[in-house]
Amino acid sequence: MSIKKNDPMKILITGANGLLGQKLVKRISASEHMIAIATSKSSCRLPSDWTGFTFEQMDVCNQKQVMETLRFYKPDVVIHAASMTDVDRCEVNHDECYKQNVLATENVLRACEMTGSHLIFLSTDFVFDGKNGPYLENAPTNPINYYGRAKQQSEKIIQDSNAIWTIVRTNLVFGIAHDLSRSNLVLWVKHALELGKELQLVDDQIRTPTLAEDLADGCLLIALKEATGIFNISGRELLTPYEMGIMTARYFGLDEYKILKTDSRHFSQVAPRPLRTGLIIDKAVQILGFEPKSFEEGIGILTKQFNLASQKI
């Protein structure tokens, strides 16, 4: 889809109520060069004092609704962030995982083919088996859980399509958003240590944790630069949950000795997790100018947001 010069770019976001969705809506709404069309299956949960965006209820699993919505708005870009991401739920409920990840993605993809919209699809490091991480974009995929297989299948459907597409792989996204029930490792560690609790964190799973704001910025760089293909968008640092916990404790001056090192064998999880993933982001840095925050900088940003949210209560 060609964008007329000086016209703002219309960006439709699926899963706008979620963590990444909220960060995208906030950033797009603050820009003179972009227009945000926020969509979600449920009613709008974005902050009531936010302005500058349009909200539309749209269930990505409803093919007719997706087609009608995209036909009406004719977005230049669609950032498909809606997904079933609970890895253990995906492992025990294959049908629902397939519906919310694969079929929903195909619905959005076909609508993008119809409108000529650039599809930016959010994928995961769990498309890899974790034996040879960190990974480049062209590394062979080999998922070891159903969630990873669903994302792998979605990627293939997109790659085999006639759409303008970009696949964004990310991992261990952390952040704070409005009206979200999920916590994150940083706040969980901080809260537990302040209560004097002992924590057990694994030291055999390696990731490149990603600040939600950085992921949003990476997606918008792709949109504005009209970049296509596969991009890794994550943090730079290879860290284990144990190391992240220690860094969090030290940042807040809490007792790091209450964090006990363990490994995955001592945790019973329904879905297997790849041990060593993490993403190499050189391509995004060179082509997009992507510059993620350090994990410690991310802790500081979360702390400010948490303090501001507490003051509003």
Tell me: the pLDDT tens digits for 154-163?
Answer: 999 999 999 9
- Average pLDDT of span 119-135: 98
Q: According to the model, what pLDDT value does residue 247 have?
A: 97
Of 20-29, 139-148, 166-175, 300-309, which range is least confident?
Answer: 300-309
- When pLDDT is cut at 50, 70 and 90, the band that residue 268 belongs to is confident
Q: Is the pLDDT of residue 144 over 50?
A: yes
How does pLDDT run across 289-301, given as a tens digit for each residue? Answer: 999 999 999 999 9
* Cα gap 107→112, rounded to integer Å: 9
| Cβ atoms of residues 294 and 211 within 8 Å | no
pLDDT at site 266: 86
pLDDT in tens, 95-107: 999 999 999 999 9
pLDDT at 183 over 80: no
> What is the pTM assigned to this prediction?
0.95
- Give residue-wise pLDDT tens across range 198-210: 999 999 999 999 9
- Could you tell me if 73 and 39 are in contact, meaning their C-beta atoms sit under 8 angstroms apart? no
Nearest-5° Cα angle at 118, 291 to 54: 85
**For residue 2, what pLDDT band results from cuts at 50, 70 and 90?**
very low
* C-alpha dihedral sign at 148, 153, 159, 163: negative
pLDDT at 219 over 50: yes
Cα distances from 237 to residues 54, 212, 298, in angstroms, run: 36, 15, 12
Average pLDDT, the chain: 94
pLDDT band at 312 (very low <50, low <70, confident <90, very high): low
H or E element in which residue 226 lies: none
Looking at residue 310, its pLDDT comes to 66
- 22-54 burial code (b ≥16 CB/10 A, e <16): bbbbbbbbeeeebbbbbbbbeebbbeeebeebe
Q: What tokens were used for 217?
A: 């910025």
pLDDT at 142 over 50: yes
Q: What pLDDT, on the 0 to 100 scale, is given for residue 184?
A: 81
Q: Residues 275-281: what's their mean pLDDT?
A: 97
Predicted local distance difference test score (pLDDT) of residue 181: 62
Cα separation, 248 vs 207, whole angstroms: 16
3-state SS class at 277: coil
d(CA 307, CA 309): 5
Residue 5 has a pLDDT of 54
Q: Which CATH class is domain 9-177+210-236+278-293?
A: alpha beta
Paired with 244 in beta bridges are none
